[in-house]
Structure 1
Amino acid sequence: MQEPRRARQLGIVVGGLPAGVHNAITDVAGVRVGHTTIVSGETIRTGVTAVVPDQLLTRPALPAGLSVGNGYGKIVGSTQVEELGEIETPVLLTATLSTFRVADALVTYLLSMPGREAAQSVNPVVAETNDGFLSDIRARPVTEEHVLAALSGATGGLPDEGCVGAGTGTGALGFKAGIGTSSRVATTSRGPATVGVLVQSNFSGVLRVCGVPVPRERVGVPVARTAPGPVGPGADAEHPGNSCVIVVATDARLDARQLGRLARRAIFAMGRVGSDFTSGSGDYALAFATAEVDLPVLPESDVDPLFAAVLEATEEALLNSLFMATTTVGFNGHVRYAVPHDRLLTLLREHGVAGVGRSGYEGS
């Protein structure tokens, strides 16, 4: 089995803006990430991922914007986010049929926090993708304990990626995928601003890397529904995967309208890696800002660098979600194969992509 490697460890660098220290959403100060990965027997491959802004410990809400690329999915709490332009809870990701249990557990977590003893309302934000190809989704195995573990275990630094948390059973663009993250530092008239992205990848299309199409058959990855091996002409077609959730964090002082524009660019970035944006896909991006709200809002003339940052960071996060994933066998013997790094790099070299597969390359 190949070792999971991030895009930059393969020599694949997206765009020209610098990444943050960890090249992760956690490069935005105060943002932590936690996972609970649930693997049980041959049938359960699922979990929970929590994006936790520490600023919510001292502030009732953060400015936020939501963009819906295609609405075939669920985000609990989305209407209040759109109406008020803010989030008041961490953002949690999970599997489709576990969404509501996760939301209930998040409410429990929030009501137990100091200062909320008299609270009578809270708007949990929970999003999902369907991992039913590799996991028995109808079992709804996610419990309150799993959710609380993801929240309490959230840390800074480089989060785990690939087959972890809410990405344990997901697949994208014909390959095994999962959780990915990346960041960029943009220059504005008020100094540097960090944009961090975390994705839960589970959508269809043909993978593109550095503009090069990477169809599954070109890198020797078969279609399969049963355990690894030859696939006969009578085999069932593989479930294509559907949906993508993108969480964007920034320390720039943006209002809800500007954050909605930032979220929209994150959806656009899915096209860079080959999404076909099918009608059955739930493609959502949620952006929030951690800057103090008493600061003046960034002028529109300074938003373009942030647009570039979110496009680059989202593209790289999506690639990391694929390259850090490993081949997984799950429910009913279904298989999703990882992107084979060696064959990918060979294909990119054939297309004249410079810098890929550099020996000894180090970096985030």
Structure 2
Amino acid sequence: MSADQRRARDYVDFDGAPGTWNAITDVPGVEVGYTTLIDGDGPLVPGTGPVRTGVTGILPLGRERVGTSVAAGMFSFNGNGELTGSHWIEETGSLALPITITNTHAVGPVHRGVLEWSLARNPALQQGWHLPVVGETFDGYLNDINGRHVREESAMAALDAAASGPLVEGSVGGGTGMNCYGFKGGTGTSSRRVAIGEDSYVVGVLTQANFGARHELTIRGRHLGPQLLDDNPMEDAARSAPPGSGSCITVVATDAPLLPLQCKALARRVSLGLARTGTTGSHFSGDVFLAFSTANPGALDSGIGAAPAGIRRLDFLPWPTINPLYSAVVQATEEAVVNALVAADTMIGRDGHRSPGFANDVLSG
């Protein structure tokens, strides 16, 4: 994170206690990297630009444990979107490869890039079959989305760059060309420390925010949207989709030991965090969420090369104790969305399309 990166807590307070970096990387072992592609200005020339896009890569157990499973669950709040590998997550409750997020028409090359990177990183994976997890949101308002600018190498570079520590937000990675509530949106993250009995855990959220109509926007209970209807070029422009269209991919990580169905329950709570920011869920918004637990690594391995033998066991928290994790997901999701808004500056993309930066001083009023 740059020294002058603005964050929502510079302007307003939020519920809950964040981790050290207030990011998904506060969950031990989780690493995040970006490839950001910005090039050209002026009229759209398909295949040439302008380019405003990228890839976000998330390593649940870091680069040293690619191919080791973690418990996972996903939830589709509205299905106008893609999360590859989701059927297998639903079937087995696990994932073992990196998670990536990009634009809608770049899922294919990113999928292949994740596979190539993972096979190179862990040669044992050469013996198996794999279903990489790739999510997407649409950046065609600003980006030459049909131009094949995101390539396999773009995904591999994002994964090569993955690290722990503070994260840059706004117009970076897969969030580069995204918009939120009629403002420039993109990538946002947040975390919460949670105590359950005598034990402490971390819940982290990373969202690619590309959803919401301007009039809906609500921040910390203040319905700001109706006050900010001016300078809304995306809604003023002739577009095939109505206000509120877009998508949101959100990834939740925790080190709390959970069953796959408990991870799915955490993923569902992302909906409540988004609702705090005002959205009611547009028909044209693909809102798909994934949650995973870094506890019990490898316990849900399906076997690479040879079928695993013996009995496997999982530690997990009793269902009645995990309400604090639900609260953490809701709180961190709300803050991650506002972080994306606060961090992103005005961006001009294809055909002079402009996405205005959020007026951060409104939060101090």
Whether TM exceeds 0.5 here: the answer is yes
Q: Which amino acid aligns with 1:243?
A: S
Q: Which residue of 1 aligns with 2:233?
A: 224
User: Any idea what SS the aligned residue of 2:124 has?
Assistant: coil
User: Any idea what SS the aligned residue of 1:60 has?
Assistant: coil
Aligned residues: 334
C-alpha separation between the residues in 2 aligned to 1:18 and 1:136? 40
Q: 1:250 is matched with which residue: 240, 254, 259?
A: 254
User: Any idea what SS the aligned residue of 2:264 has?
Assistant: helix
C-alpha separation between the residues in 2 aligned to 1:225 and 1:274? 18
Percent of aligned positions that are identical: 39
Q: Which residue of 2 aligns with 1:358?
A: none
Deviation of residue 221 (structure 1)? 4.1
Check the 8 A contact 1:62/1:88 in 2, yes or no: yes
- The one-character-per-residue Cα deviations of 1:250-284 (angstroms, maximum 9, x if unpaired) are 00000100000000001221111011201111101
Q: 1:208 is matched with which residue: 185, 196, 218?
A: 218
Q: Which amino acid aligns with 1:49?
A: T
Give the TM-score normalised by structure 1: 0.87
Q: How does 1:205-354 map to 2 (within 5 A)?
A: 205=213, 206-215=216-225, 218-219=227-228, 221-224=230-233, 236=238, 240=243, 241-292=245-296, 293=299, 294=313, 296-346=315-365
Deviation of residue 112 (structure 1)? 1.6
CA distance change for structure 1 residues 332 and 108 in 2, over 3 Å: closer, same or farther?
A: same
Q: How does 1:48-59 map to 2 (within 5 A)?
A: 48-54=55-61, 57-58=64-65
C-alpha separation between the residues in 2 aligned to 1:123 and 1:62? 14
Q: How does 1:8-19 map to 2 (within 5 A)?
A: 8-10=9-11, 12-15=12-15, 17-19=16-18
Check the 8 A contact 1:219/1:344 in 2, yes or no: no
User: Any idea what SS the aligned residue of 1:137 has?
Assistant: coil
Check the 8 A contact 1:163/1:325 in 2, yes or no: yes
Q: Does residue 7 of structure 1 match 2:4?
A: no
Moved more, 92-101 or 236-245: 236-245
Deviation of residue 140 (structure 1)? 2.2
C-alpha separation between the residues in 2 aligned to 1:108 and 1:282? 27
- The one-character-per-residue Cα deviations of 1:270-316 (angstroms, maximum 9, x if unpaired) are 11101120111110110000012555210012110000111101110
Q: Which residue of 1 aligns with 2:70?
A: 62
C-alpha separation between the residues in 1 aligned to 2:70 and 2:198? 20
- The one-character-per-residue Cα deviations of 1:115-134 (angstroms, maximum 9, x if unpaired) are 42642301100000000001
Give the TM-score normalised by structure 2: 0.87
Q: Which residue of 2 aligns with 1:355?
A: none
User: Any idea what SS the aligned residue of 2:233 has?
Assistant: coil
Q: Which amino acid aligns with 1:14?
A: F
C-alpha separation between the residues in 2 aligned to 1:5 and 1:118? 43
Deviation of residue 343 (structure 1)? 2.8
C-alpha separation between the residues in 1 aligned to 2:206 and 2:70? 18
C-alpha separation between the residues in 2 aligned to 1:298 and 1:55? 24
C-alpha separation between the residues in 1 aligned to 2:343 and 2:234? 22
Q: Which amino acid aligns with 2:352?
A: G
C-alpha separation between the residues in 2 aligned to 1:298 and 1:327? 44
C-alpha separation between the residues in 2 aligned to 1:117 and 1:86? 16
Q: Does residue 188 of structure 1 match 2:196?
A: yes
C-alpha separation between the residues in 2 aligned to 1:295 and 1:85? 12
Deviation of residue 101 (structure 1)? 0.8
Check the 8 A contact 1:56/1:62 in 2, yes or no: no
Q: Which amino acid aligns with 1:345?
A: S
- The one-character-per-residue Cα deviations of 1:94-152 (angstroms, maximum 9, x if unpaired) are 00000111001111111222342642301100000000001010112101221111001
CA distance change for structure 1 residues 220 and 55 in 2, over 3 Å: closer, same or farther?
A: closer
CA distance change for structure 1 residues 55 and 151 in 2, over 3 Å: closer, same or farther?
A: closer
Moved more, 204-213 or 193-202: 204-213
C-alpha separation between the residues in 1 aligned to 2:183 and 2:234? 13
CA distance change for structure 1 residues 341 and 296 in 2, over 3 Å: closer, same or farther?
A: same
- The one-character-per-residue Cα deviations of 1:139-176 (angstroms, maximum 9, x if unpaired) are 12101221111001111111110000111100011111
CA distance change for structure 1 residues 237 and 344 in 2, over 3 Å: closer, same or farther?
A: farther
Check the 8 A contact 1:4/1:323 in 2, yes or no: no
Q: Which residue of 1 aligns with 2:29?
A: 30
Deviation of residue 60 (structure 1)? 2.5
CA RMSD in angstroms, aligned pairs only = 1.9
Deviation of residue 56 (structure 1)? 7.1
Check the 8 A contact 2:103/2:145 in 1, yes or no: yes
Q: Which residue of 2 aligns with 1:356?
A: none
Q: Which amino acid aligns with 1:83?
A: E
User: Any idea what SS the aligned residue of 1:142 has?
Assistant: coil
C-alpha separation between the residues in 1 aligned to 2:285 and 2:269? 17
C-alpha separation between the residues in 1 aligned to 2:139 and 2:292? 26
Structure 1 spans left out of the alignment, 5+ residues: 347-364
